Amino acid sequence: MEAANFDLDRYCRRIGYRGPLAPDLTTLSALMRHQLFSVPFENLDVRAGKVVSLIPEEIVEKILDHRRGGYCYEVNGLFAMALRALGIHYQFVAARPMFYPVRRPRTHAAIVARLEGRDWLCDLGFGSHGIRAPIALDDLDREIEQDFDRFRLTRLDERGYLLQALVDQEWLNQYAFDLWPQEWIDFTPANYLNSTHPDTIFVQKLLVVLHHPTGRDTLLGDRLKREREGRITTETIEPNRLQSVLRELFQLEAAG
């Protein structure tokens, strides 16, 4: 994944990262967390009736120049550009969301990076219960603590993996994936579906998520949920407050 207008230094300024840059796990983890804490997961373009662009240069322009966020293809696509600039080998994987009451297609894009002889799941675009740091694919069947969240990775079969999150003291399936490599163009049909199909959450409701070191803020429709150190508060956002909430809580300088 590359874009003619991507610059690693500019990317680091956008996410507020000033540390060392090296093709190692320390850098991988630091960049993932800094991006999660500065680039929101958001579907403002879909809510504005647009089909999200998968053109790499337009993703860079949207997130770096216009200080927007995006959903999985955009935020993970941008992260992949940073990995490529660092010389970290990675592949895209297509994941099947597993929290719906009916079986869904593999519409989620995630990344598996290869570092220090191990494969690491990286994902900056799964919204509310997304991972907050890389998870090694051989770190199976145990509770993995990431800040105030808990995750578990297990095998479905000899090829497939299942990611779970501990929510209200219950392990809930998040998504399943295997290591069949995906080319960027392979996500075009799923992106169109997520941008246009009336059954998708992105078409139905506004969804904005920004992670913090001790929790996250989530705006779903007009309902704002703020989580800090396991404590949750909720409130309804009136239409006349929406722009200020997007700007002040989610660091979004434009709304569509």
Catalytic residue status for 72? yes
Among candidate residues 34, 119, 122, 123, the one labeled active-site is 123
Which strands sit side by side in the sheet containing 135-136, from one edge to the other? 135-136, 118-122, 108-115, 89-97, 170-178, 160-167, 149-155, 144-146
Catalytic residue status for 12? no
Among candidate residues 108, 122, 129, 217, the one labeled active-site is 108
What is the Cα–Cα distance from 188 to 50, expressed in whole angstroms?
14
What is the Cα–Cα distance from 47 to 118, expressed in whole angstroms?
39
Among candidate residues 34, 72, 119, 129, the one labeled active-site is 72
Catalytic residue status for 108? yes
What is the Cα–Cα distance from 135 to 219, expressed in whole angstroms?
26
What is the Cα–Cα distance from 68 to 66, expressed in whole angstroms?
6
Positions annotated as catalytic residues are 72, 108, 123
